[in-house]
Structure 1
Amino acid sequence: MTLYGGIDLHSNNNVVALTDESDRIVYRKRLANDARRVLEVLEPYREAITGLVVESTYNWYWLVDALMAAGYQMHLANTAAIVQYSGLKYSDDDTDAAWLAKLLRLGLLPEGFIYPQAQRAVRD
């Protein structure tokens, strides 16, 4: 089984969603912003996860850095370029996380560049 992950990141929490090839949600949960906790919940799925998407919010560095250090293939979503889903009555953090995973699976994710840590001070 191949899994795709989307993480809707906020200031003090995040929602992790893992979906399979048919968009079935295998795992979804709101977590505190703690890298150890995120890594802990992803560990049982490690071998199946083909990639993880994090929104390019003001605070993405800590999470992307921790997940990359753990060996995950990371993608940074360009939130300004993402086409919102149509046909839904509402959206929330759970649907946003699953949507990021779906865009990754379909190869439609507009990505931002993950600058190496040494270059971020110059960029910022």
Structure 2
Amino acid sequence: MEPDYWRYHKATGCPVPHAKALFAEMPALWQQRVLQAIEHDPPGRLLSDPIERDPQWADIINAAKLEAEQTAAEAGHTGRGRCHVVWRVQADILAQRHGVVWFSPARMNPGASFD
């Protein structure tokens, strides 16, 4: 069986040395979510936090996303880099109000570039 960091490298395109180091430093919950995403998400696509597909949390995560998008727009965040603001606010809403740890696309795909 392939080592987990190798599977992570193959799924994300993250260079092998970086994938190995990053995977080793990930907290257990992050590792677990990444491995679940690798099993579920089609090869060649960005990994998404599997909790987004959990019926218990999907509506809450989506509502937090909509609220975060509105908050970012009201604060004047438009254009490049806006997604990072939205994801940070979304993660904060989920953590503070619901006790949910959610990993953004940037966290799930460290080798990818987002506007």
- TM-score, normalised on structure 2? 0.32
Q: Which has the larger radius of gyration?
A: 2
- TM-score, normalised on structure 1? 0.30
Higher strand share: 1
